[in-house]
Amino acid sequence: MKYLILEIQTAADGTVATLINQKDDLNEAMSTYYTILAAAAISALPLHSAVLMTNEGISLEWKAFDRRAEESEA
């Protein structure tokens, strides 16, 4: 089985960028997933998220840091 870590970055203008990492080992995949989330937690992007999934399309974990509401309140 392979593990995919998808990083999704959404800019203020709505532009979406995706980065994909592939790992053979679940622990390595988890490490990459949480490294991405550590960066996303302090990111200036309005929406920054990550998904950990198998190559069969099964989502194991996901997390999003959504700052869009904070921007509209400012």
Q: Tens digit of pLDDT for each residue in 1-44?
A: 999 999 999 999 999 999 999 999 999 999 999 999 999 999 99
Domain boundaries, the chain: 3-60
CA distances from 73 to 45, 67, 68, 69, 70 (A): 16, 10, 9, 6, 5
Inter-residue contact 31 to 50 (CB < 8 Å): no
Reported confidence tier of residue 56, pLDDT bands at 50, 70, 90: very high
Whether the predicted pLDDT of 71 surpasses 70: no
Q: What is the pLDDT of residue 59?
A: 98
The better pLDDT of the pair 13, 73 is held by 13
Q: Tokens in use for 34?
A: 């949480």
Closest CA to 7 of 18, 45, 37: 18
The residue-averaged pLDDT of 36-60 equals: 98
Which tokens belong to 48? 């920054």
